[in-house]
């Protein structure tokens, strides 16, 4: 039986996965089959090239100097995705970059599953009028993404979209179909590298501890995992806003 969903987001040096652009940050949020967020992971990635669109993502050379390469974190990433329906806000974009990163690895790969859920499509179906961008979706939940592109915050917003839609329409066949496909899909089985993930300093909002792939938890609100509250709303008000959306959709 499928384990649930893995919501992913990748921050990249640019827009062209088939060219020289690379992933510089990634995040994964786990959601169980019932629609409850259960864990989240993130790391910077050394792109082994210049950082590209720095004004957009705000990542500095010193931030990635000690970060792992994609090949070094690929085994742990595959473990986080195995047996789960993969979800991304812009699924085509993120799937393209992930496939390109695997294609660059020296060890021959089996490829990656191609059936992903898009929270853009879910937003258009369940939250009409919200807007297509991740920042517009974030505003619906009262979450301020800040001025730079952050994988952890983006993945968290996409996960909130997913959980809101599941709660509003729990009997939808799309969820069952996605989980069944995930159960039949296989990610590359790679030997662990033992390389630690390196989260970006000053992570944005999260309601869960940050969990590293080795199981180490960084408690919310510590110096290593500071939290910025959603602008204008307390966490309780943010949850209330999501509940109100679920009620409105169900009507």
Domains and CATH numbers, the chain: 4-250 (3.30.420.10)
Token pair recorded at residue 108: 């021959």
Q: Which residues contact 202 (CB under 8 A, 6 or more apart)?
A: 226
| Beta strand residue intervals within 48-133, DSSP E | 84-88, 117-118
Token pair recorded at residue 160: 């909130």
H or E segment and range at residue 91: helix 91-104
- Judge whether 221 and 206 are in contact, CB under 8 Å: no
Would you say the pTM of this structure is higher than 0.85? no
Per-residue pLDDT of the chain in tens (251 residues, 90 and over written 9):
678 999 999 999 988 888 899 999 999 999 999 999 999 899 999 998 888 777 777 788 888 888 999 999 999 999 999 999 999 999 999 999 999 999 888 666 557 888 899 999 998 898 888 878 888 887 877 776 765 678 988 999 999 999 999 999 999 999 999 999 998 888 988 899 988 898 887 544 444 445 545 555 544 433 333 332 222 333 344 345 445 544 544 44
């Amino acid at each position: 039986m499928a384990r649930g969903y893995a919501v992913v987001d990748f921050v990249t040096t640019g827009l062209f996965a088939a060219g020289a652009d690379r992933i510089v940050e990634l995040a994964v949020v786990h959601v169980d089959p019932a629609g409850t967020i259960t864990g989240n992971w993130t790391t910077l990635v050394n792109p082994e090239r210049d950082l590209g669109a720095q004004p957009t993502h705000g990542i500095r050379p010193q931030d990635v100097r000690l970060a792992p390469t994609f090949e070094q974190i690929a085994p742990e990433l595959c473990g986080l995705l195995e047996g789960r329906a993969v979800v991304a806000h812009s699924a085509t974009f993120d799937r393209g970059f992930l496939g390109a990163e695997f294609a660059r690895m020296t060890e021959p790969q089996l490829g990656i599953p191609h059936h992903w859920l898009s929270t853009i499509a879910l937003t258009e179906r369940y939250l009409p009028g919200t807007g297509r961008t991740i920042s517009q979706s974030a505003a619906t939940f009262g979450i301020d993404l800040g001025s730079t592109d952050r994988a952890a915050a983006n993945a968290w917003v996409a996960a909130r979209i997913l959980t809101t839609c599941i709660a509003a329409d729990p009997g939808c066949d799309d969820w069952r179909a996605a989980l069944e496909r995930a159960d039949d899909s296989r990610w590359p089985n790679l030997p662990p590298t033992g390389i630690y993930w390196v989260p970006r300093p000053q992570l944005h909002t999260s309601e869960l501890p940050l969990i590293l792939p080795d199981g180490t938890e960084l408690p919310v609100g510590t110096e290593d995992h500071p939290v910025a509250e959603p602008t204008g709303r307390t966490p309780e008000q943010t949850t209330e806003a999501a509940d109100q959306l679920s009620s409105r959709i169900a009507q």
